[in-house]
Structure 1
Amino acid sequence: MSEAPKDTSVQGATYQEQIQESARRNNTELLLQIKSELNNDQVKLAHLINDTREIITNNTPLHLACNLGNWEFIDIVLDIEGVEIDPQNRELETPLHVAVKYAIDEPEHGYFIIDNMLDAGADPRIKDKHGLRPRDYVNKGNEKLLELLESAEYAISMEPSEEMQLREFQEQEEAQDGSASGSESD
């Protein structure tokens, strides 16, 4: 019995497959090639990264790179305007959760990645489906990382909420309107 002829024609991988491969292998050359092919369009690139998900895990390219400690990929992605820094996978983990788990085996490199993600706006207060925040996954002996995450949580808690900012803005507007109408009657 003869085998059917194999299809030797090569079809190119989709951008989604390429971006996942780039994240897994820390292949910044491929990432920059995709960026170039999309004419450095930040919106298209952000959509590609945000909308690309693994089927079973629902991991984004950022999750994949954080899981492997692929800093060069992460660094480029964090600079792309519009990329979601806190997408959640099937376990409701953010890339920050995944990076903290990576830090268990690679504490120094993991700390570096986590510090940069926090600087880029990652929210350490988000809980996964087990009700755990990233700091709940910190290795027992890693006080430095625990302090970093706790101080980031504290800093966020000290920021005024959007509701408070809106209220302050409205009060300022009303005060300006009141002083403007008061000066008109003079």
Structure 2
Amino acid sequence: MSEDKGANNNQRLLAAARTDNEELLLEVFEAGDFDINHQDGVGNTAPSFRNISAVLTYCSVQNGSTDVLEHILSHEACDVDPINRINRATPLHLACQLEDDGMRSYMVESLLDAGADTKIRDKNGELAVSFVPPTDEETRKLFRKTQAHIMTVSQDDIASDDDGEAASGSGSGSDED
């Protein structure tokens, strides 16, 4: 870990995410004084990642770092949907492009559970789900499940508003004083 000596906590977080070093990540979390959504001067997360913002989420997604990703996503200030500067892609877009089906599914599920927005389009107008291979039914099912949940919550909100008005008697059309 000699490379981490002298580095500030944002740099140490980047190193932890890049190398899936859970021990280092937890040390930084304990020390505090870091920005979970840190960007370098040009918006890059690391030299090996092209202009990707939100250092921690992206490094974890790109490297398939499962241990570190869970800690990062559970941090209350973590932005799950940062958009990088060149491709305008989110971590969900990147996760959908992972080669390994199992890792892709795991990462997508983690991001969706953390509240990733499935409706964000990249610079080419592509949704994250469009990068999922047609043969990866498990990951596609995760997107359908999330969409169904969103629709259910939306319908419940509408029904609750209507029920509340009817119960109070407003809008009954009655002319009684």
1:83 aligns with 2:78: yes
Instruction: Give yes or no for the alignment of 1:135 onto 2:165.
Output: no
Q: CA deviation at 1:15?
A: 1.6
- Describe the SS at the equivalent of 1:160: helix
**Greater Rg by CA:** 1
TM-score (norm 2): 0.75
After TM superposition, the runs of 4+ consecutive aligned structure 1 residues lying more than 6 A away are none
How far does residue 58 in structure 1 lie from its aligned partner after superposition? 3.5
Task: Provide, for residues 1-45 of structure 1, a one-character-per-residue CA deviation record: whole Å limited to 9, x for no partner.
Answer: xxxxxxxxx97112221111111100111111111111xxxxx65
Match of 2:64 among 50, 62, 69: 69
Structure having the larger proportion of residues in helix: 1
Q: Distance in 1 between matches of 2:39 and 2:15?
A: 11
- CA-to-aligned-CA distance 1:114-156 (integer Å, 9 cap, x gap): 1122112111121111111111001132122122213323332
What are structure 1's unaligned runs of at least 5 residues?
Answer: 1-9, 39-43, 179-184
- Cα distance between partner residues in 1 of 2:52 and 2:129: 22
Q: CA RMSD in A?
A: 2.9
Out of 93, 96, 100, the position equivalent to 2:96 is 100
TM-score normalised by L of structure 1: 0.72
* TM-aligned CA distance change 1:157 to 1:88, over 3 Å: farther
Paired letter, 1:95: P
